């Protein structure tokens, strides 16, 4: 059983997230996802529109995701890798290099991001639509 692990906020789910999750899951037999808590998001200077419970429910309904657990600090990844027996850590390449230190515990792989879509852009276009309506 090859376990793949990844992390993120996954707010307002879109094809960029799905492409990441699908490709990560295809690299193993199981995909576990560390979902940033609302409090941790503040630490990442991100505010998610949807709260943790909402984002967790959405992720858990995706066929590529086997388990979702809370990500509430930057230091938990090594413990998570050991806890789940993950042999592969995957992130989008906007994080390239940032998690190479994990390579002493498991393989580290950065996947190309899906271009031209982001939660930030979705929020911005929604804000414009609301204003101009
Ligand atoms: N992603 C992607 N393509 C996009 C948008 C996002 O491949 N167009 C990927 C990101 O690279 C990341 C994952 O989808 O691997 C989740 O993205 P976010 O929810 O923005 O997560 P982030 O804020 O990067 O949190 O400890 C790691 C952090 O929790 C990562």
pLDDT 10s digits, 115-126? 999 988 998 898
CB atoms within 10 A of CB 30: 16
- Taking the centre of ligand 1 as the mean of its atom positions, its distance from the CA of residue 83, in whole angstroms, is 22
CB contact set of 28 (below 8 Å; sequence gap of 6+): 2, 3, 4, 87, 88
Q: Is residue 123 flagged as an active site residue?
A: no
Active-site hit among 2, 44, 82, 98: 44
Given the structure tokens 């995706």, which residue do they identify? 62
The CATH number for 3-132, chosen from 3.30.530.20, 1.10.10.10, 3.40.50.150, 3.40.50.620, is 3.40.50.620
> What is the mean predicted confidence (pLDDT) over 124-132?
77
The tokens describing 35, both together, are 């979902």
Q: Of the residues 34, 80, 113, which should be mutated to test ligand 1's pocket, given the most ligand atoms within 8 Å of the CB?
A: 113
pLDDT band at residue 11, thresholds of 50, 70 and 90? very high
User: And the tokens for 48?
Assistant: 């998610």
pLDDT at position 130 is 67
The pLDDT confidence band at residue 47, using thresholds 50, 70 and 90, is confident
Section 33-47 average pLDDT: 94
Note the pTM of the prediction, 2 decimals.
Answer: 0.95
Nearest atom in ligand 1 to the alpha carbon of residue 46 is 23
Mean pLDDT in the chain? Answer: 95
Which of 46, 77, 82, 123 is the catalytic position? 46
């Amino acid at each position: 059983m090859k376990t793949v692990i990844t992390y993120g906020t996954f707010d307002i789910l879109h094809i960029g997230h799905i492409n990441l999750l699908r490709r990560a899951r295809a690299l193993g037999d199981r995909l576990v996802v560390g979902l940033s808590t609302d409090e941790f998001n503040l630490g990442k200077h991100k505010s998610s529109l949807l709260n943790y419970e909402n984002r967790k429910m959405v992720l858990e309904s995706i066929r590529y995701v086997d388990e979702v657990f809370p990500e509430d600090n930057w230091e938990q990844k090594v413990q998570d890798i050991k806890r789940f027996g993950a042999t592969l850590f995957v992130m989008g390449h906007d994080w390239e290099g940032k998690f190479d230190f994990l390579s002493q515990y498991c393989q580290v792989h950065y996947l190309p991001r899906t271009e031209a879509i982001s939660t930030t852009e979705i929020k911005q276009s929604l804000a414009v639509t609301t204003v101009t309506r």
